[in-house]
Amino acid sequence: QFQVDMAGAGFEIAILLGGIGIGGFVDRTKEYKRVTLICIAASAALIVPLGLTEHAIGQEPVLLLLALFSLGLFAGPIQPINAELAVDVAYPCDETAVESVQQIGGNLVSALLVPVAERAARADYQLFLPPLESDIRGDVVLLTALAGIAYTFYTFFDAPLRRTEAEKKINVNNESESLLATSPQMNMDSTLMMTSTAAMMDAEVISKTTTTKGTTTDATLTPTTIANTASTKNKKD
């Protein structure tokens, strides 16, 4: 009994680690569909060794423990990942309501499947594949079939990630507001630079002018030059 308890504890730890690792990856990349398909396929493959009753794989404790822990690692994250997906797709619906419906639905289906799986476990089916020629329990066949149905359904799933799209728009708007907030200072700096450049050009033009008989002649006249010329003429008058 102690060994069974330790195996169950290891299975729960594997679920926790899978949720942290795989779930964190999905949070960063938003690859809900691809990761879920991988997890479902891996779970369907890893559950098969647990149901083999006569094959060497089904009678090797180390291999069974590895299959059990790996099953927890890949099957555990499926529920939290898809709870997050449901919230993303159903946006702007209330997150708590969406996750509650998903959780209640999952628990209800699981509760209904328990007596069906217990009854199926009493039956053994002959597996004629040469590498795994053995009897296999009916509950494993049932769970593998459910995993195949879920995988097929999920292959055709294609819904927009509305919350992710809304967050991207918000980020773009925030960046635009930040640019607008800094634009007055940028405009002031540009104005000062243009004024300084114009003053330098006027000074250069003035230095090239020649004064003849109290008048100023220049091929290039600017507003500043004209004002300076008029001021000089008034003083001489």
pLDDT digits (tens, 9 = 90+) for 77-128: 999 999 999 999 999 888 889 989 988 988 899 899 999 999 988 888 877 6
pLDDT at res. 81: 93
| Four-residue CA torsion sign, 107, 109, 114, 117 | negative
Q: Distance between CA 84 and CA 23 in Å, rounded?
A: 10
pLDDT at res. 234: 47
pLDDT at res. 5: 85
Q: What is the pTM of this model?
A: 0.69
Q: Which residues contact 191 (CB under 8 A, 6 or more apart)?
A: none
pLDDT at res. 211: 46
Q: Are 55 and 133 in contact (CB under 8 A)?
A: yes
Query: Which residues of the chain register pLDDT less than 50?
Result: 210-222, 226-227, 230, 233-237
Please report, in angstroms and rounded to a whole number, the separation of the first and last CA atoms in the chain. 119
